[in-house]
Structure 1
Amino acid sequence: MFSERILRVLERLGGVSAATAVRARLAPRTEPAPPRFRVEREADAGRIAAWWESRDPAGRDQLADPHTIATLPAYAANIENMIGTVKLPVGVVGPLRVNGLHAQGDYLVPLATTEAALVASYARGAHLITRAGGASAAMLSEGVLRSPAFLFADMVEAGTFVGWAAANAGRLRVAAEATTRHGKLEAIDPFIDNDTVFLVCRYTTGDAAGQNMVTIATDALCRAVLEGCPVQPRAWFIEGNFSGDKKASYLGLITGRGRKVSASVLIPEALVRRCLHVGVDRMLDYARVAQLGAMLSGQIGAQGHYANGLAAFYIATGQDAACVAESAVGFTRMERRDDGLFMSVTLPNLLVGSVGGGTGLPAQRAALELMGLAGTGKAAALAEVVASLCLAGEISIMAAIAAGDFTRAHHSLARTRT
């Protein structure tokens, strides 16, 4: 017997009797395509005004408001075909106390989101962490990966190439590092699959997240390969989809991609009951269920909702929001200790920077300055604060589910508010 789900699919496709009409609806259209928008790199007020002339003035007033037009030069390096800016509500979490190798202090953390209840949830966890003395946090390692791929005639040529690359690693490093003042090529690890070789290149990127930095450096490395290697590849690609760039991957989980950071807190049992309205044993019961659910469903890592806090923080501070796909991989642990409840988070792929990308945009720079973490020398501390933020979110959501408050909180904070 067909399931209801399959029957609904068939209904959307129109059934066998409507096959001709459905095919006609899905077929390519033959009328001339509308003119393509020309890619404009400059954020020009005159061009933006002309673009809005024949369009909804209400949309123009919201997206191309006078303040946006007056500050256009600030956006020019970050966008093409600019027509305005989008405003999002920004909430603040904290003070969040962080006792880190690099981050030391009580931080106000900005989050940009349209999801009601999110800021309240992270704020609750941050309050509890601070009352417990703060999160212990450490950036454990760093290294952004890029994995160019080289295709050869056979496995013998692939092996010869790897031998040459190993013997000339210093030469390749010089070529890569000549493109950047801050990036350093730390390692080149070959991975051979028959006639195909991936060179897994690991870089440190200073205070930048470094995605573009490592791409440009790796391109120079590949050009040096082509100039010097006696075995020429049939083809090569700057990224062979091996590095895990903007994707959850086991490689990133094990070796790290970006900044690997861990944060933990020990919460006295009385504080757990007073602030979270649940006992430690009930929290541990839920932790076991959550770990089992993650394992049975095939999740990479095991955690509650890193992506919520990361996405809101990335948007607020000008990080590359697409990197949430890999940055949200990690592990949350919960254990009973003599003094109460121990909780920790470990994020092996945290891609954040205090310089570069969108961190220099006016609002995003202001959000980083709110924490005192804008500019050079602040990226490691920023990573430790972000990990502590994720810890706050894990404490709050797991407690809400364990206590049976999750639905009620979302109903009161998100459903019934006007």
Structure 2
Amino acid sequence: MPKVNLHKRDYLNNLGTELDMSEFETKLAPKFDSPAKRVNRSPYLNQRNVDYRWKSLNNPSAQAQLLDPHTEAQMEAYEKNIEFFIGTLKMPIGTAGPLRINGLFAQGDYQVPLATTEAALVASYNRGANLITAAGGTSAMLLNEGVTRTPGFAFKSLVEAGQFVAWLVTQFDYFKQLAESTTSHGKLSDVSVNIEGNHVYLVFEYLTGDASGQNMVTIATNVVFNYILEHTPIEPDYAFLDGNLSGDKKANSQTLRSVRGKKVTAEVTIPAELVEKYLHTTPEKMAQFGQMTTVGGALSGTIGINAHYANALAALYIACGQDAACVAESAIGMTRMEVTAKGELYASVTLPNLMVGTVGGGTGLPSQKACLDLLGLSGSGKSQALAEVAAGLCLAGELSIVGAFCAGHFSRAHHKLAR
């Protein structure tokens, strides 16, 4: 079948017709004149340095928006979270709920704060949350926890790699002592070995308490890594603290059957009359949509099957001081929708990579802590509950968006709310 391009702009093919070669060379050539603006790069956050930066930037209107009096009064709170501070960014926040969670750790009705600039998003999650609550709430279960860091070592041969591993496995107890000496919260729960030819990858897996824990496991593993390099009887040709096996901030399939961060599953069973009332469609139609999009996802090579976990997690992570870049891995998972023998809709989500915490990172910043306080999930002992809420929120979003497609409302809702 011929490929049809209704409108395509190929810049490479148009180079010869739209740009003469001398101009082309000038545009792409290195330029060594002095930069127009240099901003103070002192590591210290104080009024003098902030004022100096704004003097260099010379944009009073931008300064008025980013360094308002409230931000200026609180700026010391950001000292451990940002370099070269110039102000704060304001994003609109709405709440979706009540979202009833019947979990091992999260129990109750939650108004979930979502920070986004995408119209229709909060309304969609709110609709799904209200449907779940009307059906008695979602059952949510934290299944597993663990954060990894994966050093890699290269040797001249497989023989050397095997000899290295033979020494390595005798050191695991000491590795645990070393790693845990760097943190009062983290626990080294497992070390596994992967050999690929003359390369060896170690997977250090930690429990990180109520912190998301990525910095924690990096610091702990680095101590062990340095010990290995100093004491191994088989010296590697080269080695790195992380060999990219952890899946850190990247979509990856390995954790679909294991865990990185917190692994949570959530389910709900919804009577047909509630599906009709809230979503204006039927359980059968929603199950059919799930079947078709599962095949579509397989054809596209997607990792996991879901409609839009990323929307929920990005908005929740930004509002609640999580590492927003972790959405790349956290938004992987499985959504299923089936019709029960009673004609009800059964829906479930499983997310194996939820990187969430309620202490550390950005969770203590003024606005972000306020959002966690709205959930009642700020501070120690709350991270497992936050993970279950996140899974319930994703389930709400899956129900709402699938319902919108089945009822033919998806485009209409965006046209109405986004315009």
TM-score of the pair, normalised by structure 2: 0.95
Number of residue pairs matched?
415
Number of the residue aligned with 1:396: 400
Distance 2:14 2:345 in 1: 51
Deviation, 1:94, is 0.7
Bigger mean CA deviation after superposition, 239-248 or 224-233: 224-233
SS at match of 1:81: coil
Deviation, 1:23, is 2.8
Number of the residue aligned with 2:25: 23
Distance 1:38 1:188 in 2: 43
* Alignment partner of 1:371 out of 371, 375, 391: 375
Distance 1:312 1:370 in 2: 15
* Structure 2, unpaired ranges of 5+: none
**Deviation string, structure 1 residues 334-364 (Cα, Å, up to 9, x no partner):** 0111340000000000000011100000110
Report if aligned partners of 1:151, 1:236 keep a CA contact under 8 Å in 2: yes
Number of the residue aligned with 2:385: 381
Deviation, 1:27, is 1.8
Report if aligned partners of 2:143, 2:264 keep a CA contact under 8 Å in 1: yes
Number of the residue aligned with 2:244: 241
Deviation, 1:38, is 4.8
Amino acid at match of 1:124: R
Deviation, 1:34, is 5.1
Distance 2:63 2:38 in 1: 21
SS at match of 2:97: strand
Deviation, 1:21, is 2.6
**Deviation string, structure 1 residues 161-210 (Cα, Å, up to 9, x no partner):** 11111111101111111111111111111111122111011111000000
Distance 2:252 2:33 in 1: 43
Q: CA distance change for structure 1 residues 37 and 51 in 2, over 3 Å: closer, same or farther?
A: closer
Report if aligned partners of 1:263, 1:391 keep a CA contact under 8 Å in 2: yes
Number of the residue aligned with 1:410: 414
Number of the residue aligned with 2:325: 322
SS at match of 2:100: strand
| 2:157 is the alignment partner of 1:134 | no
* Alignment partner of 2:351 out of 347, 360, 371: 347
Number of the residue aligned with 1:310: 313
Distance 1:334 1:274 in 2: 18
Distance 1:84 1:121 in 2: 31
Report if aligned partners of 2:66, 2:86 keep a CA contact under 8 Å in 1: yes
SS at match of 2:32: coil
Report if aligned partners of 2:150, 2:202 keep a CA contact under 8 Å in 1: yes
Deviation, 1:370, is 0.5
Distance 1:274 1:126 in 2: 14
Report if aligned partners of 1:41, 1:79 keep a CA contact under 8 Å in 2: no
Q: CA distance change for structure 1 residues 376 and 97 in 2, over 3 Å: closer, same or farther?
A: same
* Alignment partner of 1:102 out of 98, 102, 105: 105
Map 1:53-64 to 2 at 5 A: 53=55, 55-64=58-67
* Structure 1, unpaired ranges of 5+: none
Distance 2:44 2:338 in 1: 54
Distance 2:286 2:345 in 1: 9
* Alignment partner of 1:270 out of 270, 273, 296: 273
Deviation, 1:35, is 6.6
SS at match of 2:381: coil
**Deviation string, structure 1 residues 42-75 (Cα, Å, up to 9, x no partner):** 2211221222235121111100111111001111
Distance 2:370 2:338 in 1: 38
Distance 1:127 1:16 in 2: 55
| 2:229 is the alignment partner of 1:226 | yes
Distance 2:347 2:79 in 1: 43
SS at match of 1:8: coil
SS at match of 2:118: coil
Distance 1:10 1:235 in 2: 40
Amino acid at match of 2:156: A
Number of the residue aligned with 1:332: 335
Distance 1:50 1:353 in 2: 35
Distance 2:21 2:362 in 1: 48
Greater share of residues in helix: 1
Report if aligned partners of 2:42, 2:49 keep a CA contact under 8 Å in 1: no
Q: CA distance change for structure 1 residues 226 and 274 in 2, over 3 Å: closer, same or farther?
A: same
| 2:46 is the alignment partner of 1:44 | yes
Q: CA distance change for structure 1 residues 29 and 184 in 2, over 3 Å: closer, same or farther?
A: same
Number of the residue aligned with 2:125: 122
**Deviation string, structure 1 residues 98-151 (Cα, Å, up to 9, x no partner):** 000010000111000000100000000000000000000011001011101112
Number of the residue aligned with 1:169: 172
SS at match of 1:24: helix
RMSD (CA atoms)? 1.7
Distance 1:305 1:252 in 2: 18
Distance 2:72 2:169 in 1: 52
Q: CA distance change for structure 1 residues 349 and 60 in 2, over 3 Å: closer, same or farther?
A: same
Number of the residue aligned with 1:79: 82
Deviation, 1:6, is 6.4
TM-score of the pair, normalised by structure 1: 0.96
Distance 1:19 1:323 in 2: 43
Amino acid at match of 1:136: S
Amino acid at match of 2:118: E
Number of the residue aligned with 1:284: 287
Percent identity, aligned pairs only? 52
Distance 2:13 2:230 in 1: 59
Bigger mean CA deviation after superposition, 317-326 or 191-200: 191-200
Number of the residue aligned with 1:296: 299
